[in-house]
Amino acid sequence: MATVAVRHKVQNFDTWKVAYDEHGVVRNQHGCTGDRVLRDEADPNDILVLTYWPALANAHAFADDPSLPGVMGKAGVVGAPRIEIYEEAGA
């Protein structure tokens, strides 16, 4: 299993959330198994998104999807996002 963590600031959370939800189709096409959207308690426009994937290949395919920069622009992402990919460690 893999997790993609994306952290970025947005101009307006509600506008961003609409675009994020619409982009769910693309996440699903790449095999996303779930997600969590978190907001910084001091700045509700500072967002952390965790998405879950069955394999690293799915996570990388999503992170490299050519539609991602466009949807981030439409969603009002401010500056460059921080995108990190993690692999589940064995217990």
Predicted structure pTM score: 0.92
Helix axes 67-75 and 13-22, enclosed angle (nearest 10): 150
Domains and CATH numbers, the chain: 2-87 (3.30.70.100)
CB 49 within 8 A of CB 35: yes
47 CB-near residues (< 8 Å, 6+ apart): 6, 7, 8, 9, 10, 13, 16, 37, 38, 39, 40
pLDDT digit string (tens) for 27-79?
999 999 999 999 999 999 999 999 999 999 999 999 999 999 999 999 999 99
d(CA 3, CA 90): 14
The two beta strands, 46-53 and 77-87, are unpaired
pLDDT, residue 60, reads 96
pLDDT at 14 over 70: yes
